[in-house]
Amino acid sequence: MTDEKPRKTYSAKPTRGAVQKSPEKGDPRDQPREGQRIAKLLARAGVASRREIERMIEAGRISLHGTPVEHPSLLLKNLTGITVDDKPVAEPSPAKLFRFHKPNGYLTAERDFSGKKTIYDVLPDDLERVMPIGRLDLNTEGLLLMTTDGEFKREMELPKNGIERTYRARTFGDITQNQLEELYRGITVEGMHYGPITANLERSTGRNQWIEMTLTEGKNREVRKVLEHFGLKTSRLIRTQYGPFVLGDLAKGEIEVVRQHDLVKFRKTLK
């Protein structure tokens, strides 16, 4: 799959502030079921994930025609009159997907109150608002997909879609290909069950080796914990692929937009 060349600049989304007649007051759950939940619309518009939007509503940061929204179940036909922190929200535009080469030592988070650097310290200042699809640990590098659309982010992270992720791990210890084959049947480590994993011993020098692993669940620190179960110490972990999208020769810290044609084609394969 071929991606477009990196853009030198990234344009922010336009904002539209058209006003419509305010809906009747009262619990939105008592209103006729028309439109879509506000959390879903705002997620599609790239404001935040649904869960984060619910927290923003609880904090009184989201309003409709100047009145704070009280329920994330509020149904709307569009985002006319909606503001977040008193700023108008643009209607959802077609989802965009980016490939980002996350460097080692950066958190996959928007901010960290302890002072650690995050991926947003690396991303271009003029890049439109993007959200990470899944996470990579502080000390894991490689492919991190970013999107402008919260609904697409959710689709990609749903376990039922079974999207494969591939990693390369540099490890120290003793392991054989036959042992790695056991992972294909799934494994339970410290009470946590991990589904089928395809693992291949790429090359080894003494007790050092590179192992390629492909999985679909992406549980917290899954690769490291499974390798620790075999007595291996992981010194470097790189994600090289997520679904059909590959890291390729993307340099550390670089971000490239995926061709819209390729994104649309891939979305048709999701359940």
**pLDDT tens digits for range 218-243:** 788 999 999 999 999 999 999 999 99
- pLDDT score, position 169: 97
Separation of alpha carbons 12 and 129, rounded Å: 8
Given a cut of 70, whether residue 263 has pLDDT beyond it is yes
Which CATH number is 164-242 given?
3.30.70.1560
Domain segments of the chain as ranges: 28-88, 97-160+245-267, 164-242
Same fold? 97-160+245-267, 164-242: yes
Fold of 28-88: 3.10.290
| DSSP character at residue 70 | -
User: Which CATH architecture fits 97-160+245-267?
Assistant: 2-Layer Sandwich (3.30)
- 115 burial class (0-12, 13-18, 19+ CB within 10 angstroms)? exposed
211-230 burial by CB neighbour count: b if 16+ within 10 A, else e?
Answer: bbbebeebeeebbbbbbbeb
Mean per-residue pLDDT, 72-81: 90
| Catalytic-role residue among 112, 121, 125, 137 | 137
262 catalytic per annotation: no
Percent of the chain with pLDDT over 70: 87
